[in-house]
Amino acid sequence: MNRIKRFAKSFGLGRLVCLFLLAALVGLRIGNPAPLESMRVRTFDFYQAMKPRQATVQPAVIVDIDEASLKAYGQWPWPRTLLADLVTKLTRLGSATIAFDIIFAEPDRMSPAVAADSFRNLDADTRAQLMKLPSNDDVLADAMRRTRVVIGESGFHLPSPPSATRPPGVGFAMMGPDPRRFLITFPGVINNVAPLEQAAAGRGMVTIQSEPDGIVRRVPMVMMAQDALVPAISLEMLRVATGAGAIRIKTNAAGVNSVAIPGLELPTDRNAQLWVHYARYDQNRYVSAKDVLEDRVAPGRIGRKLVLIGTSSVGLRDIKATPIDPAMSGVEVHAQVLENVLTKSMLVYPNYAIGAELAATVLLGLTIIAVGPILGASMMLGLGALVTAGLAAGSWYFYTQHLVLLDATFPFMATFLIYLTLIFINYFREQLQRKRIRSAFGQYLSPSLVDKLAHSHETLVLGGEDRNMTIMFSDVRGFTSISELYKDDPQGLTALMNNFLTPMTNAIVEKNGTIDKYIGDAIMAFWSAPLHDPVHELNACAAALEMLARVDLLNEQRKKEAVSAGQRFIPFKIGVGLNSGRCVVGNMGSNLRFNYSVLGDCVNLASRLEGQTKSYDVPIIIGSKTAQAARGKFALLELDYITVKGKTEPETIYTILGREDVAQSESFQRMEGLFNEMLALYRRQDFAGAGEAIVRCRAAGEGFALNRLFDIYSVRIGSFQKDAPPSDWNGVFALDSK
């Protein structure tokens, strides 16, 4: 059992599933359902459309009862005496065999005797003279006896009464199993009138069956009609022309292989149908019946040729759709069959074709199953392209060079399905792996980081990368006083902090931020890692403002709850520090435990800026690089030019007083202008002017909650007025606290 498990694990679930799929596909091809057959024949249609047969030799000619003939000799049906004239003239022109793609199922209504009965007030002598004349059918039959004429018959969906005057049919010789069960069968047959049946040298079926999509691709060479074997009109013409006495049918267990007359063998499908290799329409294949009747046809156009009498007139509705022509006359289909046979340009879909297609399917399928899980995506894509090109080229080669139809679509479809199944199973397994990673790390890391780890397992290693980022630190001011309210309810304090940290976290994550860690009531977060964010400064500023808005909503809710419970209420107040710059971000820690975090000088400065929000009594302080990117998008006010504790490089710091609408407001712009004027005077050591400017700032700054900032500058200005700074003072204020 363990060996089986180890084998199954090494072999792989994907390979096992694909083996079962390959077996199912082989069974599907053997069953050959209609959609599969339709896909195959449409491929063969495409081949013929791309490269139709070149009709360099035309051994058959069509005498066309076309629109010009109908206009000259009247509407159809014509008197059969006119058709007798047509047969006689074709005989004189040297036709080898004549065939009617027309059925004369009823006596000619224009025969003299029939006409005599239809006239009123006809004198007795005239009636007697008309009754003595031969019928039009006899006239046509007499013309037919002087040459070799094949007349057409048609299959019928109902049994026909037996005809006592029907001559014996052509003989058939069987080689192999009885072919009857494979042949297209009709319960009945539509015959011609007795005089024509007896005068004809042969009788053949003119029936052409379209396939389910309406396309004529194959023409049956032998059919069953009214329990008798009957040849197609084209095959019967060949038999009569060669003087053969019988037609041979060769079969095996799979069906019919071919039909033949001495000297000619026609390869067919299992149902004795010939795949027609079509050539494009050629007017030289047609001769107008009008021109024959009026002796305007040269003997060379008819002499020693097989002549089919039919119609291309749309009104007589003998139009068929073929792979290369949507409106080919039915009589031309028979003519093209004759051309196929006599020029040896017949298409063959051999009985071994299914074996070749299955062999290709199994071989390619096993190859994909074997190497698919090993090769990379690009190599598999290349292999798939190579397989597709090989199948298409092989199928095209056999069609163009050997006139053999071999289907490339099923092997391609089967191998493609196997390949897709392998991809799906690998994807499914990958999704399970990602789900396990998300389950393991989702509680500790940001969703974007978890998603990256799920897609790239290799990132779970020690190390980092240099990246331009924005760092945030936030802290709750006066948290000690708030926690004191819950000194007897530590669970309540936990619930309170969860209620606070949840909206703060959401505000950060919704702006594409990554939570680095929670430190009690403090939050550390960053932007542009693990996923690059081209506007990380703007997203960080927007997140800071959103945090303030959500704190206000949380305070409103807590105040209502405290009032209803009769408890003391202390609102949350937060300070947020933002700074942008180069950092190292990655998995930091030991080989036993590590965390995705960020290091760098700008991280330390962001922490110091958060601490100074208490000193300046503003909720947000940002560094100069963050301000540079956010200028114009937010209402930024320069606060000071400082050096924080532990650093020597000065930094210009700013606060955010609102979004772009605030920045565009008249009140903010007036206050900002006055404050910038004060800063300029202050840094030029014009402390008297700066003192006057700070008064104006207070008046303009009402509503912006900047009194603490104005107080700071008032104290500094007063101090400098008493004790002037050194001459090299550049306006930098050194902070002595974090």
Q: What is the CATH number of the domain that holds 574?
A: 3.30.70.1230
Percent of all residues in the chain with a pLDDT value above 70, rounded to a whole number:
90
Q: Are residues 68 and 18 in the same domain?
A: no
Q: Are residues 543 and 574 in the same domain?
A: yes
Nearest-CA neighbor of 653 among 721, 577, 713? 577
Sequential DSSP letters for 110-146: TSHHHHHHH-SS--HHHHHHHHHSPPHHHHHHHHHHT
Domain boundary among 585, 610, 630: 630
Domain boundary among 630, 647, 678: 630
Residue 244 lies in a domain: yes
Q: Are residues 267 and 416 in the same domain?
A: no
At 526, which amino acid appears?
F
Residue 125 lies in a domain: no
Q: Are residues 416 and 459 in the same domain?
A: no
Paired with 204 in beta bridges are 152
CA distance 74 to 67: 10
- pLDDT value at position 442? 55
At 407, which amino acid appears?
D
Q: Are residues 336 and 361 in the same domain?
A: no
Q: Are residues 286 and 388 in the same domain?
A: no
At 610, which amino acid appears?
E
CA distance 109 to 111: 6
Residue 614 lies in a domain: yes
Q: Are residues 232 and 338 in the same domain?
A: yes
Question: How many other β-carbons are positioned within 10 Å of the β-carbon of residue 670?
Answer: 15
Residues in Cβ contact with 384 at an 8 Å cutoff, skipping those fewer than 6 apart: 415, 416, 419
Q: Are residues 155 and 80 in the same domain?
A: yes
- Least confidently predicted of 186-200, 529-543, 724-738: 724-738
Residue 78 lies in a domain: yes
Share in percent of the chain as helix, strand, coil (round to 5): 50, 20, 30
Q: Are residues 535 and 604 in the same domain?
A: yes
State the pLDDT confidence band at 306, using cuts at 50, 70 and 90: very high
Q: Are residues 423 and 512 in the same domain?
A: no
Q: How high is the mean pLDDT of the chain?
A: 87
Q: How is residue 283 annotated by DSSP?
A: G
**176 phi and psi angles, rounded to 5 deg:** 110, -165
Q: Are residues 155 and 269 in the same domain?
A: yes
Counting Cβ atoms within 10 Å, is residue 652 exposed (0-12), middle (13-18) or buried (19+)? Answer: middle
State the pLDDT confidence band at 738, using cuts at 50, 70 and 90: low
CA distance 364 to 246: 46
Residue 127 lies in a domain: no
CA distance 707 to 716: 14
Residues in Cβ contact with 471 at an 8 Å cutoff, skipping those fewer than 6 apart: 524, 525, 526, 578, 579, 580, 583, 598, 602, 603, 606
- pLDDT value at position 340? 95
Q: Is the pLDDT score of 189 beyond 70?
A: yes
CA 192 vs CA 167, 569, 665: distances in Å:
11, 110, 101
Residue 145 lies in a domain: yes
Q: How is residue 489 annotated by DSSP?
A: -
Q: Is the pLDDT score of 441 beyond 70?
A: no
CA distance 504 to 572: 12
Q: Provide mean pLDDT across the span 300-319.
A: 86
**83 phi and psi angles, rounded to 5 deg:** -70, -35
Evaluate whether 75 touches 132 at the Cβ level (below 8 Å). no
Q: Is the pLDDT score of 440 beyond 50?
A: no
Residue 263 lies in a domain: yes
Q: Is the pLDDT score of 563 beyond 50?
A: yes
Residue 55 lies in a domain: no
Counting Cβ atoms within 10 Å, is residue 233 exposed (0-12), middle (13-18) or buried (19+)? Answer: buried
Evaluate whether 526 touches 585 at the Cβ level (below 8 Å). yes
- pLDDT value at position 261? 93
Range of the domain at 701: 660-738
Structural domains of the chain, count: 4
Nearest-CA neighbor of 232 among 140, 95, 330? 330
State the pLDDT confidence band at 592, using cuts at 50, 70 and 90: low
CA distance 499 to 639: 32
CA 213 vs CA 143, 364, 540: distances in Å:
41, 31, 63
Paired with 152 in beta bridges are 204
Question: How many other β-carbons are positioned within 10 Å of the β-carbon of residue 420?
Answer: 12
- pLDDT value at position 159? 84
Q: Are residues 522 and 570 in the same domain?
A: yes
Q: Provide mean pLDDT across the span 397-404.
A: 93
CA distance 672 to 678: 10
- pLDDT value at position 461? 47
